[in-house]
């Protein structure tokens, strides 16, 4: 896949959103990946797991992290080649099958959990590869992810410290995905 330059999407409550092709070696504070209950072979976690020589798969097989929907495990200071200071696994359950409501909820959870950390630069590799999304569902899923993140920000009493939040666009539809993320942000009105 040819490299696509990062695309700024806009800012909301001190969080600057960017769409980019996320590399697991990227030097971010936090890398967020989704992991299914069973080996899907294509989720973000599977790629990270290969880089970690199967550590995540064995943790799952041993019941330390099962991949149940919404389950969360943070690993502090993962080894190379992971470039992030910490790695957050979020359980995708049996798979999301392109369900916008569920992917929105999980993105909201990811943002809420991030807000509890010291992370300033966050790469969200939560979905796409493991989502089995039909091509016509790209915009709806992208919008749900952005809205999930924005809802978490609306849950705060005061704006957070400045954060750069990077959504991954390695789903083969980078331009459409980025445009949908940008549009969801631009049209967001706080539910208050």
For Cα atoms 67, 65, 94, give the angle at the middle one, nearest 5 degrees: 15
CB of 173 to other proteins, least distance (A): 21
Distance, in Å, from the CA atom of 40 to the CA atom of 34, rounded to the nearest integer, reads 11
**CA-based radius of gyration for the chain:** 15
Closest distance between other proteins and the C-beta of residue 40, in Å? 19
64 binds other proteins (CB under 8 A): yes
Decide: is 165 part of the binding site for other proteins (CB under 8 A).
no
- The string of DSSP letters for 28-43 reads -SEEEEEEESS--SSS
Among 55, 97, 137, 160, binds other proteins (CB under 8 A): 55
DSSP strand pairing (163-168 vs 121-125): parallel
Q: Kindly state whether residue 184 participates in binding other proteins, applying the rule CB under 8 A.
A: yes
Distance of closest approach, residue 26 Cβ to other proteins, in angstroms: 17
Check binding of 76 to other proteins (CB under 8 A): yes
CA separation for the pair 59, 47 (Å, rounded)? 15
**CA dihedral sign, ordered 122, 126, 128, 133:** negative
**Interacting positions 91-130 with other proteins (CB under 8 A):** 101, 104-105, 108, 112-113, 116-118
Please choose, out of 6-14, 16-24, 65-73, 167-175, the segment that lies near other proteins by the rule CB under 8 A. Answer: 65-73
Q: Where are the alpha helices (DSSP H) in the chain?
A: 44-51, 55-61, 100-115, 138-154, 174-186
Q: Which residues bind other proteins (CB under 8 A)?
A: 52, 54-56, 58-59, 61-65, 71-79, 86-88, 101, 104-105, 108, 112-113, 116-118, 147-148, 151, 154-157, 184, 187-189, 191
């Amino acid at each position: 896949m040819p490299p696509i330059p990062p695309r700024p999407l806009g800012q909301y409550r001190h969080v600057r959103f960017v769409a980019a092709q996320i590399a697991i070696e990227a030097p971010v504070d936090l890398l967020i990946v989704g992991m299914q209950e069973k080996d899907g072979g294509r989720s973000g976690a599977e790629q990270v797991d290969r880089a970690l020589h199967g550590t995540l798969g064995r943790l799952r097989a041993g019941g330390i992290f099962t991949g149940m929907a919404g389950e969360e495990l943070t690993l502090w200071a993962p080894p190379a080649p992971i470039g992030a200071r910490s790695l957050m696994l979020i359980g995708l359950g049996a798979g999301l099958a392109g369900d916008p409501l569920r992917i929105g909820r999980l993105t909201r959870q990811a943002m809420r959990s991030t807000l509890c950390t010291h992370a300033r630069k966050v790469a969200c590799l939560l979905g796409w590869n493991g989502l089995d999304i039909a091509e016509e569902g790209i915009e709806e899923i992208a919008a749900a992810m952005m809205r999930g993140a924005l809802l978490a920000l609306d849950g705060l009493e005061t704006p957070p410290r400045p954060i750069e939040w990077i959504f991954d666009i390695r789903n083969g539809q980078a331009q459409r995905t980025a445009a949908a993320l940008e549009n969801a942000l631009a049209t967001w009105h706080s539910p208050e």
